[in-house]
Amino acid sequence: MKLQTFFLLLVLSFSSLAADGVKLGVLVSGEVTEVRVAQGQEVRKGDLLLRLDETLFQARVNEMRVRLRAAEAALRLAEDELERARELYDRTLLADYELQKAQLERFQAEAEVVAARARLLEARTDLRRTRLRAPFSGRIDRVFAYPGQVVQNGFQVQPLIEMSTATEPPKSR
């Protein structure tokens, strides 16, 4: 199962799947900037339903890209230093301690690159989560979201849109 599909399943409210449709939300917190659907509208799988303000999420992606480049540069430097230390060690001009120190610094730099890549992936994932897309083709039953609304997702995902695959009018509540 793809990671993206797994997170979408977390958003769906299965308690009312058959009778009432599926309640959809986003997994990040932010301000709704655009709602592209209305009650009764037909949508196709993948259509953009709404989006949150992406400004801070995009800034975080940009920051993580820069941090990754810095970590990669530090790794290249640590690899050069390790190579130089090995050459000096082979010529008996460097103590064991200094060689081990250079090896440790290289391992630490490599770990920082891995961590920076993970942080960039997380930032990109959060940016992608600011857009709510239709998980299947169907009809919008209810729209709970409006531009300017602040969405706070902590322990429970806030429903923003309800949709179903049914072609009959939504039940009155």
pLDDT at residue 12 in the model: 44
- CA dist 147 and 101 (Å) reads 55
Q: Which two tokens stand for residue 49?
A: 């339903």
CATH number at residue 109: 1.10.287
- pLDDT category of residue 11 using cuts at 50, 70 and 90: very low
What are 93-132's pLDDT values in tens digits?
999 999 999 999 999 999 999 999 999 999 999 999 999 9
**Same-domain check for residues 62 and 10:** no
Assess if residue 169 is contained within a domain: no
pLDDT at residue 67 in the model: 98
**Same-domain check for residues 109 and 137:** no
**Same-domain check for residues 154 and 111:** no
What are 126-171's pLDDT values in tens digits?
999 999 999 999 999 999 999 999 999 877 899 999 999 865 555 5
- CA dist 29 and 152 (Å) reads 5
**Same-domain check for residues 111 and 68:** yes
Domain count, the chain: 2
Assess if residue 171 is contained within a domain: no
**Same-domain check for residues 25 and 49:** yes
**Same-domain check for residues 8 and 45:** yes
DSSP string, 14-77: GGGHHHH-EEE--SS-EEEEEE---TT-EE-TT-EEEEE--HHHHHHHHHHHHHHHHHHHHHHH
Q: Residue 110 carries which DSSP code?
A: H
Above 60 in pLDDT, residue 9? Answer: no
Angle between helices 96-128 and 55-90 in degrees, nearest 10: 160
CATH number at residue 10: 2.40.50.100
**Same-domain check for residues 149 and 104:** no
Assess if residue 65 is contained within a domain: yes
Above 50 in pLDDT, residue 13? Answer: no
Domain that holds residue 93: 57-127
Say if CB 142 and CB 161 are below 8 A apart: yes
Report the run of H or E that residue 165 belongs to, with start and end: none
What are 59-72's pLDDT values in tens digits?
999 999 999 999 99
**Same-domain check for residues 46 and 66:** no
Assess if residue 140 is contained within a domain: yes
Assess if residue 144 is contained within a domain: yes
Residue burial 139-165, b: 16+ Cβ < 10 Å; e: rest: bbbbbebeeebebeeeeebbbbbbbbe
**Same-domain check for residues 143 and 89:** no
Q: Which two tokens stand for residue 136?
A: 């299947």
Q: What are phi and psi of 32, to 5 degrees?
A: -70, 125
Per-residue pLDDT, averaged over 65-85, amounts to 98
**Same-domain check for residues 45 and 76:** no
**Same-domain check for residues 20 and 62:** no
DSSP string, 68-79: HHHHHHHHHHHH
Coil, helix or strand for 155?
coil
**Same-domain check for residues 66 and 122:** yes
